[in-house]
Amino acid sequence: MPPFMTRFTDDARLALDTLTDRASSLVNPTLRLGVTGLSRAGKTVFISSLVHNLLNGGRLPVFDAVRSGRVSKIRLEPQPDDAVPRFQYEDHITALVRDRVWPDSTRAISQLRITLDYESASGWNRLFSPGRLSIDIVDYPGEWLLDLPLLTQDFRTFSARTADQAKTGMRTELSADWLAMAVSVDITAPAVEADARRLAETFTLYLKACKSDERSLSTLPPGRFLMPGDLEGSPALTFSPLPALPDGRAPKGSLWAMMERRYEAYKTHVVKPFYREHFARLDRQIVLIDALQAINRGPESLLDLETALADVLASFQPGTNSFLSSFLTKRIDKVLIAATKADHLHHESHDRLERITERLVHRAVERIGMSGAGLDVMAIASVRATREATVNHDGHVLPVIVGTPIAGETINGETFNGERKTAIFTGDLPKNPDSLFQDLASKPEESLVPDLTFVRFRPPHIEETGGGLKLSVPHIRLDRAMQFLFGDRLA
């Protein structure tokens, strides 16, 4: 690299990146679609099903371009970014369709390009547009977005915030070990690597405990502590916030100074590159959330998810954050918040799930002033693993869902073998979403957690048509999501 290049600031590099994107987009129109959500929200399944439905002529009545027969050819193409892992579509779809198991958890960023040849609906556009759109789908962990606010926080602020949060609700108990250790070490004494490691490990254990299945609190930054990938064990990941920092500056060579330096390294080497190379280049974004799981865990999980979502959404509207806005040369103009796994509910409850999800993001949306055409909220199932039925129970007709529970799942003491189907009455979601968000502190006895029964189902059996061709993956409202996310670019 010639020496003058190194003088480029981050801003200039980013501007160059997006310019290059734009130039190539003129030749071949592209849309970068970010797919995110906290771990296990359903990102991999969403992308796999979306692509499968596009490639295999899925039932997509609300997706206008396909419904009206204007799309002539859809294919996967090599992605333009050579250094980013490819989204392993074929492996995931084999698991889903052939083996009827859910794809493995994915812990890093990946990308896939799908290209559509279409005929514009308007004669005018037909004249000027090449009638080809490439969609670069980028799958990345929502936890990484929670890191973006760190860019504007110094070590002292980050430490104080983390410590404050650690002392609320369920977190109090989970953070006890870490907090005790953090206040007992002498942070002004010369740094010892072993101390740094122990502190970082105890801090990570606390973050992991919050995230565990029984509690399902949303993640706090730093996001990579739970998903280190190839950074595992590196100094940039071996630090811990320090509660109760004394005034003044860290003494040279102290543990405090070491932690502070590593925190800054985390921002420089982990957070900024993600922001610059991936996030800042997105055009559209879908955020998947497992609202059902949070509802099922009770108000604290729900409130916690609300907070995490507010942080996630704030990164899409960086007006309030000068660092972020200084980086942006283009803006994400459409964001879809989708509650996933709606196939766990009878369709009568889908609208209720949607309303609860709206309620979940309402405050954040108001605060950051994001609304109108740029934002939508839906309840979807990328893969519909159940079908609906009704049963008579004590003279009542109950709406139920029928599916094959995964081997080992239990309901009322009955354990399933992964082959047998069963009908389940999931329970009712409340009509009024507010009842789920009751202030626990003021009325602990009124906690209105609905009595819901959830089991994990196997992916559905997919019929073969003649000639061994599999039909596409069944879904709920996936076409509505497609229409919102890129329908206008095929108009």
Ligand X SMILES: Nc1nc2c(ncn2[C@@H]2O[C@H](COP(=O)(O)OP(=O)(O)OP(=O)(O)O)[C@@H](O)[C@H]2O)c(=O)[nH]1
Residues at the site binding ligand X, with contacts judged by CB under 6 A: 37, 39-45, 102-103, 105-106, 141, 340-341, 343, 381-383, 385, 456-457
How far is CA 248 from its chain centroid? Answer: 39
Report the partner that residue 240 touches, choosing among Mg ion, ligand X, none (CB closer than 5 to 8 A by kind): none
CB of 306 to ligand X, least distance (A): 19
Separation of alpha carbons 92 and 175, rounded Å? 36
CB of 218 to Mg ion, least distance (A): 17
User: Tokens representing 471?
Assistant: 């039909």
The residue among 313 and 401 lying less far from ligand X, judged by its C-beta, is: 401
Residue 42: which of 333, 344, 390 has the closest Cα?
Answer: 344
Report the partner that residue 456 touches, choosing among ligand X, Mg ion, none (CB closer than 5 to 8 A by kind): ligand X
CB of 460 to ligand X, least distance (A): 9
Tell which positions 14-43 bind Mg ion, by CB under 5 A. Answer: 43
Report the partner that residue 39 touches, choosing among Mg ion, ligand X, none (CB closer than 5 to 8 A by kind): ligand X
Separation of alpha carbons 458 and 462, rounded Å? 12
Report the partner that residue 312 touches, choosing among Mg ion, ligand X, none (CB closer than 5 to 8 A by kind): none
Report the partner that residue 341 touches, choosing among ligand X, Mg ion, none (CB closer than 5 to 8 A by kind): ligand X
Report the partner that residue 383 touches, choosing among ligand X, Mg ion, none (CB closer than 5 to 8 A by kind): ligand X
Tell which positions 93-122 bind Mg ion, by CB under 5 A. Answer: 106
CB of 383 to ligand X, least distance (A): 4
The residue among 43 and 281 lying less far from ligand X, judged by its C-beta, is: 43
The residue among 158 and 457 lying less far from ligand X, judged by its C-beta, is: 457
- Considering the rule CB under 5 A, would residue 296 count as an interface residue with Mg ion? no
Residue written as token pair 């949306």: 365
The residue among 14 and 473 lying less far from ligand X, judged by its C-beta, is: 473
CB of 104 to Mg ion, least distance (A): 8
CB of 463 to Mg ion, least distance (A): 26
How far is CA 320 from its chain centroid? Answer: 22
The residue among 70 and 384 lying less far from ligand X, judged by its C-beta, is: 384
The three-state (H, E, C) secondary structure of the chain, written as one string: CCHHHHCCCHHHHHHHHHHHHHHHHHHCCEEEEEEEECCCCCHHHHHHHHHHHHHCCCCCCCCHHHHCCCEEEEEEECCCCCCCCECCHHHHHHHHHHHCCCCCCCCCCEEEEEEEEECCCCHHHHHHCCCEEEEEEEECCHHHHCCHHHHHCCHHHHHHHHHHHHCCCCHHHHCHHHHHHHHHCCCCCECCHHHHHHHHHHHHHHHHHHHCCCCCCCCCCCHHHCCCHHHCCCHHHCCCCCCCCCCCCCCCCEHHHHHHHHHHHHHHHHHHHHHHHCHHHCCEEEEEECHHHHHHHCHHHHHHHHHHHHHHHHCCCHHHCHHHHHHCCCCCCEEEEEECCHHHCCHHHHHHHHHHHHHHHHHHHHHHCCCHHHEEEEECECCCCCEEEEEEECCEEEEEEEECECCCCEECCEECCCCCCEEECCCCCCCCHHHHHCCCCCCHHHCCCCCCCCCCECCCCCCECHHHCECCCCCECHHHHHHHHHHHHHC
Tell which positions 361-390 bind Mg ion, by CB under 5 A. Answer: none
Report the partner that residue 457 touches, choosing among Mg ion, ligand X, none (CB closer than 5 to 8 A by kind): ligand X
CB of 142 to ligand X, least distance (A): 8
The residue among 144 and 266 lying less far from ligand X, judged by its C-beta, is: 144
The residue among 35 and 196 lying less far from Mg ion, judged by its C-beta, is: 35
Number of residues located near Mg ion, criterion CB under 5 A = 3
The residue among 30 and 111 lying less far from ligand X, judged by its C-beta, is: 111
CB of 126 to ligand X, least distance (A): 36
The residue among 44 and 349 lying less far from Mg ion, judged by its C-beta, is: 44
CB of 39 to ligand X, least distance (A): 4
CB of 16 to Mg ion, least distance (A): 31
Report the partner that residue 142 touches, choosing among ligand X, Mg ion, none (CB closer than 5 to 8 A by kind): none
Report the partner that residue 299 touches, choosing among ligand X, Mg ion, none (CB closer than 5 to 8 A by kind): none
The residue among 187 and 401 lying less far from ligand X, judged by its C-beta, is: 401
The residue among 162 and 382 lying less far from ligand X, judged by its C-beta, is: 382
- Considering the rule CB under 5 A, would residue 219 count as an interface residue with Mg ion? no
Residue 402: which of 394, 416, 313 has the closest Cα?
Answer: 416
Asked if residue 291 lies in contact with residue 271, where contact means CB atoms within 8 angstroms, the answer is no
Report the partner that residue 300 touches, choosing among Mg ion, ligand X, none (CB closer than 5 to 8 A by kind): none
Separation of alpha carbons 447 and 429, rounded Å? 14
- Considering the rule CB under 5 A, would residue 44 count as an interface residue with Mg ion? yes
The site for Mg ion (CB under 5 A) is made up of 43-44, 106
